Amino acid sequence: MNVIKRSGEEVIFDSSKIENAVKKANIATEETKRVSEEKIKEITDKVVEKCNTLNRAVAVEEIQDMVENELMRAQVFQVAHNYITYRYERALVRKANTTDKQILSLIGRNNEEAKQENSNKNPTVNSTQRDYMAGEVSKDITRRFLLPQEIYDAHDKGIIHFHDSDYFAQPMYNCCLVNLEDMLQNGTVISETKIEKPHSFATACNIATQIIAQVASNQYGGQTVTLSHLAPFVDISRQKHRKQVAAELADAGIDVDNEKINRIAESRLKAEIKAGIQTIQYQIITLMTTNGQAPFVTVYMYLDEVEEGQTRDDLALCVEEMLRQRMQGVKNEKGVWVTPAFPKLIYVLDEDNIEEGSKSYYLTKLSAECTAKRMVPDYISAKLMRELKGDVYGCMGCRSFLTPDRFTDTGTFGNPEHALNYVPGKHKYYGRFNQGVVTINLVDVACSSEGDMDKFWSIMNERLDLCHRALRIRHEHLLGTPSDVAPILWQNGAIARIDKGEVIDPLLYNGYSTISLGYAGLAECVYRMLGESHTTEEGKKFGLAVMQAMNDACAKWKKEENIDYSVYGTPIESTTYKFAKCLQERFGVIPHVTDKNYITNSYHVHVTEEIDAFDKLTKEAQFQQLSPGGAISYVEVPNMQYNIPAVLSLMKHIYNTIMYAELNTKSDYCQECGYDGEIEIKEDENHKLIWRCPNCGNTDQTKMNVARRTCGYIGTQYWNQGRTQEIKERVLHL
């Protein structure tokens, strides 16, 4: 068993340190009230036993809490008092400087928490370390100066989670839909250099990747671009190739008709499309932005975003090429084709591509093959989205959905972002963003109420009020932000074209941007209150009531403040482990509730529950409707590369049943022996979960490629112990 020090470094558990600490407190106690050596040993053994039952690395603070509790249970109050006093004095000393040890452990590459904080960040490289070091300072400033004590205390205890405090010191938003169309069609500025409208598809793709890198460096969440904004440049290249071919043939004295010219030009055009898409794929994968990771980019693919005709046909060419290249994958350092994390792909299922024989069904079949091999694309049902949102538009890759555009419904808000591609009366989604997230831990609400339903709703209302105050802090932190802090976003078209010196305030109201009330652990919450899963009729009824309560709260806040609050199924990655540890510390180990080192994402069926894929999607669809600010459902499937009809059946079920869903499979490779099956998760002698090649026994994570979906995105580095256990315990749904 290991211990996580306050610096984040993980070391071997040493029970003698517990015993010595109690002995020091005992020596400081009046002689008549001291305890025997045997009693100290007994208290130490009980703490060790409790630590062992957790089956994970234990934080120093957790151990100290256990020692306090055991001293109080033993009724050795004077010793307990001295222990608590010493602990408090040491805490005061640490508060004088709260960041040095964390930063030093990052530089020394032995901060286990940092290593597993983000499955797409490598904390051993300088750029990532620099970002983490800055993050430690930001978290410290946020804790001491920017958050009220009650908010920080609730965050620290895992009652709520104030997301991305490592970026909160600066006025940055979460995620966005990039207005690539405006920037490409009307020009932009990158690093004080004017970029004019490109004259070819290849150039448009190259500029798009530069924009993506700039946007990623000025926000902390994901971004989505759509291929429909690149499609118009295909015909520009087509006409260019036709002129070039005609001129070349004329110079050569060859007399050919237009049909032959067009055929040669189309061949060159397809080569350019291939090169352009390859530019997007490879540059995104290889880019390292200022926050030490590849940009979290999603590419949205929906043919009906453009008018029927040449542009839609050209968009189909782009979609096809994107799918084919993604299905191929990228080469790792050994030259083997593997699954990359980015860009994430979203493919929209609609009536013109869902049925065999429909015009674009060939793309749907290609999508199915790509999903079976590389886990993407994910799928949006245009049919369900129209029913739920009244429109069809992309989401951020993290699963965050903007509220439907209501600017055109009233005609009163106009064009506050001053976009050059604004069309009165046309809905607008690109150029909009999310202000940030605060998540309520639903499991803690249920455990705090001890199964009492009246108490549950009372605590729920208190926690929602706490979240609201925290969200207001996020919103108010952005108020007054001058456009100059991020010119690519606010001045040069990615979000807006506001003048220098102007503030972004108009974009924080009237539904232009959203702000998210996140939630986690509905499955465990329902089980704690009812003793049954939310897949049962009674469990579903209560689970939906909890979801409705959050929606009602958001509606109330929105009406009162004209800010678009929205319920969001948080894609907790590292936070799932933090929440689980806090729950165990506060409530002990409760079967089916706090007995794991993770809690369930959003409304999902618990990963260990046996359920059929089609049934899972059908049941979760009812909850997804009440998560309008963002949600995605998934089904865990085996290798489906030789069963594409089954993938297509699932896709059709998604189209008819649920708005947004994905299929999870495995895509691994061992660089030591060449094994390309599933890398397994095993427990080592210290009860730590590690990745191991079943063929050669390799456990060196730097010599294997593992890809798993963990929070909407595919992770290709490694995960903390809580998320690793969750991945290990997932059951197949097909």
Q: pLDDT digit string (tens) for 277-311?
A: 999 998 888 875 555 567 889 999 999 999 999 99
More confident residue, 209 or 710: 209
Residue whose structure tokens are 């190259």: 206
What letter would DSSP give residue 405? P
400 as an active site residue: the answer is: yes
Residues 661-676: what's their mean pLDDT?
92
Sign for the pseudo-dihedral over CA of 602, 603, 608, 614: negative
Coil/strand/helix, residue 664: strand
Residues 657-678: what's their mean pLDDT?
93
The catalytically annotated residue of 66, 172, 398, 670 is: 398
Answer yes or no: are the C-beta atoms of 118 and 573 closer than 8 Å.
yes
683 as an active site residue: the answer is: no
Question: 60-73 and 77-95 are packed helices; what angle lies between their axes, rounded to 10 degrees?
Answer: 160
In this predicted model, what pLDDT tens digit does every residue of 331-360 receive, in sequence order? 988 899 998 888 999 999 999 999 999 999
Q: Which helix (H) or strand (E) holds 242?
A: helix 232-251
Question: 15-27 and 77-95 are packed helices; what angle lies between their axes, rounded to 10 degrees?
Answer: 110
End-to-end Cα separation, the chain, in angstroms:
36
Q: Which residues pair with 400 in a beta bridge?
A: 630
Coil/strand/helix, residue 163: coil
The catalytically annotated residue of 543, 629, 712, 715 is: 712
Instruction: Give residue 86's identity as a one-letter amino acid code.
Output: Y
More confident residue, 504 or 30: 504
The catalytically annotated residue of 568, 598, 634, 713 is: 568
**pLDDT given at position 60:** 86
**pLDDT given at position 5:** 79
**pLDDT given at position 153:** 94
1 as an active site residue: the answer is: no
Residues 158-177: what's their mean pLDDT?
93
Q: What are the structure tokens assigned to 93, written together? A: 């000393």
The catalytically annotated residue of 321, 573, 620, 636 is: 573
pLDDT above 70 covers a percentage of the chain that reads 91
Q: What is the per-residue DSSP string for 579-628? A: HHHHHHHHH---TTTTSSSS--BTTPPPTTS---HHHHHHHHHHHHTT-T
The mean-pLDDT minimum among 204-218, 351-365, 399-413 falls in 399-413
Residues 226-243: what's their mean pLDDT?
98
The whole-angstrom separation of Cα 272 and Cα 317 is 11
Q: What is the largest CA-CA distance in the chain?
A: 113
568 as an active site residue: the answer is: yes
Q: Which residues pair with 226 in a beta bridge?
A: 300
Residue whose structure tokens are 């100066």: 145
Answer yes or no: are the C-beta atoms of 312 and 306 closer than 8 Å.
yes
Answer yes or no: are the C-beta atoms of 339 and 375 closer than 8 Å.
yes
Residues 546-556: what's their mean pLDDT?
98
The catalytically annotated residue of 2, 105, 118, 174 is: 174
The catalytically annotated residue of 400, 421, 483, 705 is: 400
396 as an active site residue: the answer is: yes
pLDDT for residue 106 is more than 50 = no
Neighbouring residues of 85: CB distance < 8 A, sequence distance ≥ 6: none
**pLDDT given at position 264:** 95
Which of the four pLDDT bands, split at 50, 70 and 90, describes residue 119? very low
In this predicted model, what pLDDT tens digit does every residue of 126-145 receive, in sequence order? 666 666 667 777 787 888 88
The whole-angstrom separation of Cα 312 and Cα 731 is 40
Beta strand 344-349 with 378-381: parallel, antiparallel or unpaired?
A: parallel
554 as an active site residue: the answer is: no
**pLDDT given at position 94:** 55
The whole-angstrom separation of Cα 606 and Cα 528 is 13
The whole-angstrom separation of Cα 352 and Cα 315 is 14
Determine the distance from the C-alpha atom of residue 663 to the mean position of all C-alpha atoms in its chain, rounded to a whole number.
16
Neighbouring residues of 138: CB distance < 8 A, sequence distance ≥ 6: 165, 166, 167, 168, 169, 170
The mean-pLDDT minimum among 121-125, 308-312, 578-582, 715-719 falls in 121-125
Burial of 183 (0-12, 13-18, 19+ CB in 10 A): buried
In this predicted model, what pLDDT tens digit does every residue of 192-205 receive, in sequence order? 999 999 999 999 99
The catalytically annotated residue of 26, 353, 367, 434 is: 434
pLDDT for residue 115 is more than 60 = no
The whole-angstrom separation of Cα 517 and Cα 436 is 9
Residues 561-569: what's their mean pLDDT?
97
Coil/strand/helix, residue 707: strand
Given 3-state DSSP classes, what are the helix, strand and coil percentages for the chain, each rounded to the nearest 5?
Answer: 50, 15, 35
pLDDT above 90 covers a percentage of the chain that reads 69
Residue 418 backbone zone (phi > 0: left; psi -120 to 50: alpha; other: beta): left
The whole-angstrom separation of Cα 551 and Cα 481 is 29
**pLDDT given at position 288:** 58
The catalytically annotated residue of 51, 172, 175, 711 is: 175
The mean-pLDDT minimum among 30-39, 153-162, 204-213, 479-488 falls in 30-39
Query: Across the chain, how many H-helices and E-strands are there?
Result: 25, 23
711 as an active site residue: the answer is: no
Count the neighbouring beta carbons within 10 Å of the beta carbon of residue 83.
23
**pLDDT given at position 449:** 97
The whole-angstrom separation of Cα 224 and Cα 399 is 11
Residue whose structure tokens are 């090649």: 693
Q: What are the structure tokens assigned to 561, written together? A: 């403040």
pTM for the whole structure:
0.86
